[in-house]
């Protein structure tokens, strides 16, 4: 009986040692996966921020371009109307200028948003 008690104690110690080693390995694996996840989240977050900033820049540039285009169309339309007032017959050019002027290019941005949806 005494011999078996000693064997039981040795088995218990051996099991505890193996259990502690296994737990240590498992804990290290958990930390490794957590570090990989943190790195992946950081990379993806950086990529998302880059895309958001790129979209903002694109929207700003598009708005500036559409505003510039709208101003150019207003200028052409006004110029064509002034030529007509001064007696020059430019009916076809004036008609095209009026068509362009009625488009309001600055609203092209809202038209683009409708296309994206």
Rounded distance between C-alpha atoms, residue 97 and residue 78, angstroms: 9
pTM score of the predicted model: 0.47
Q: What is the pLDDT of residues 1-24, one digit of tens each?
A: 667 677 777 777 888 887 888 888
Mean pLDDT for all residues in the chain: 78
What Cα–Cα distance (Å) separates residue 90 from each residue in 2, 43, 75, 105?
120, 60, 16, 23
Return the pLDDT at 53.
93
Strand, coil or helix: 104 = coil
Q: Which residues contact 76 (CB under 8 A, 6 or more apart)?
A: 97, 100, 101
Q: What is the pLDDT of residues 58-114, one digit of tens each?
A: 989 988 888 888 888 888 878 878 887 887 777 776 677 667 656 555 555 554 555
For residue 24, the enclosing domain spans: 2-116
Domain count, the chain: 1
Better-scored residue on pLDDT, 45 or 101: 45
């Amino acid at each position: 009986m005494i011999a078996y008690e000693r064997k039981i104690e040795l088995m218990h110690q051996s099991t505890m040692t193996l259990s502690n080693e296994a737990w240590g390995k498992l804990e290290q694996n958990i930390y490794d996966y957590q570090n990989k996840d943190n790195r992946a989240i950081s990379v993806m977050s950086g990529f998302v921020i880059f895309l958001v900033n790129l979209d903002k820049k694109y929207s700003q540039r598009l708005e500036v371009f559409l505003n510039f285009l709208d101003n150019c169309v207003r200028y052409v339309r006004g110029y064509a109307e002034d030529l007509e007032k001064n007696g020059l017959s430019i009916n076809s050019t004036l008609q095209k200028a009026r068509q362009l002027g009625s488009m309001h290019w600055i609203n092209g941005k809202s038209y683009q948003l409708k296309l994206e949806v």
